Amino acid sequence: MSGASEPHQTDERLRKLLHIGFGLGAVSLRWLPWPAAAGIAALAVLGNWLVLHRIFGRAVARHERGFDEGIVLYPAVVLALILVFRHQLGIAAVSWCILGFGDGFATLAGTYFRRSPRLPWNRNKSWAGLAAFLVAATPASFVVWYLVGDSPTLLPPLFIILATVIVAAVAESLPLRIDDNLTVPIAAAVVLSILAGATSWPFLHDDRTTILWLAANAVLAAIGYLGRSVDVSGAVGGCVLGAILIVCAGWPLYISLLAFFVIGTATTKLGFRRKAARGLAQERGGRRGFSHAFSNAGVASICAVAISFSSGGPGEVIFLLLAGIASLATAAADTVASEIGQLLGRRAFLPTTVGPAPVGTEGAISVEGSLAGLLGGLFVAAIGVSALVLQVPGRFAPEAPWKPVLFLTACACVGSYLESVAGAWNRKRAEPVPNGVLNFFNTAVGALLAVFLAKVALF
């Protein structure tokens, strides 16, 4: 007999049946108090890490060591959902259910129907898997919401569940190269918390000023295309995102987006030939597409939609506006730091090891780029806060206007730095996460940090 070990094989059917079976636990949140549910989820994390592969063998893990990040991440995410939504367990339960049933049945369908047509935006996923996600997760989630959800909703529950499942299914189908155990429940929880938490119909700005801003938005999108700053998808997508900001949140968020676009475009074009000669310039001559637009302005758009549904008083609206501005300031800090660092940076280093790295290395930062990024974040933060003061002088009138500008700039710098840390980690992966996903991540960090600091430092 040969001394070579047999190749490691994973029983994907068994793995996903366990995945779906664990999803049944979402119903238990109807009876379990959240501390008990959190404790059980914590034990599941340890069990999946240390015990599960000893019971079922290595067939449940995609890694030869007997466990992988997926089977540990699943219960860890459930634990996080329970802790975050401990006072709204219906949201945690439905997000858990969508992860268990939607993601589980999508993979099984993709396995059994291998000849199903591929999705045009991700050739590794099929229409059969997407359909299975929707068919399995929708009724199961509706039942879980009926059993666990303990508060009435303004919007019809079926609409809320269907919209949440669709968004989660799309998130699962995108080529993000991030574990579905993260993307699916996060997408579900965000949509569900906005729709289920709505206590009034969305308020949309529809006055004459709004119409003028929408017209200006369309003109600026066309100028961006003609100026070779964006391609067709970037112009159309950017115009749509801009319209969402204007209609749902008002012009201060749009002004912040415009400030980001101006400074981002200017630094991208600055020294473009020199950066291109060194192989560091933005691809396609600096034209950016819809993926770039959404990765940088997607969080602000989510904040805008949440604002339109919000009836929690002026404080909640201000928090969401500050979060949206912070996300755009973070995008500006990251873009400016990257472009100026590639142009003027003399010495670059990795934030994880502080070791030297060639300029342009993913995740590497330089003093010149970092200082430029700080100024970029400061520029957008100052524009956004100034517009906010002008729009709602009675509701947002800080004693020291520079104070929110500084803390939003700090949020932007932290978000940009963490994106560099993530980039340094990403360059070591066999299948790197797309840069747009990292950009979305850093804007989300900036927004969340802004909400936290606003509650602590401003109000």
pLDDT tens-digit map of 378-416: 999 999 998 888 776 455 656 667 788 998 999 999 999
Contact 324, 299 (CB under 8 A): yes
Here the contacts of 356-363 (C-beta below 8 Å, separation 24 or greater) are 359/278, 359/280, 360/278, 360/279, 360/280, 361/427, 362/423, 362/424, 362/426, 362/427, 362/432, 362/435, 363/420, 363/421, 363/422, 363/423, 363/424, 363/425, 363/426, 363/427
Average pLDDT over residues 115-135: 92
Partners of 366 in beta bridges: 348
Cβ atoms of 416 and 373 within 8 Å: the answer is yes
pLDDT tens profile 66-124: 556 777 889 999 999 999 999 999 999 999 999 999 999 998 898 888 888 999 988 88
β-strand pairing of 118-119 with 122-126: antiparallel
Q: Which stretches of 313-363 are assigned E, i.e. beta strand?
A: 348-349, 356-357
Residue 208 has pLDDT above 90, yes or no: no
**Residue 3: pLDDT band by 50, 70, 90 thresholds?**
very low
Confidence of residue 435 (pLDDT cuts 50, 70, 90): confident
Residue with the two structure tokens 């010495």:
347
Task: State the pLDDT at residue 283.
Answer: 63
Average pLDDT over residues 55-68: 57
pTM of the model: 0.84
Q: What is the mean pLDDT of the chain?
A: 85
| Tokens 């100028």 belong to residue | 223
* Pairwise CA distance, residues 261 & 217, whole Å: 12
Query: Nearest Cα to 48, choosing from 78, 69, 79, 26?
Result: 69
Q: How confident is the model at residue 58 (pLDDT cuts 50, 70, 90)?
A: low
Pairing of strands 365-366, 356-357: unpaired
Q: What 3-state class would DSSP assign to 393?
A: coil
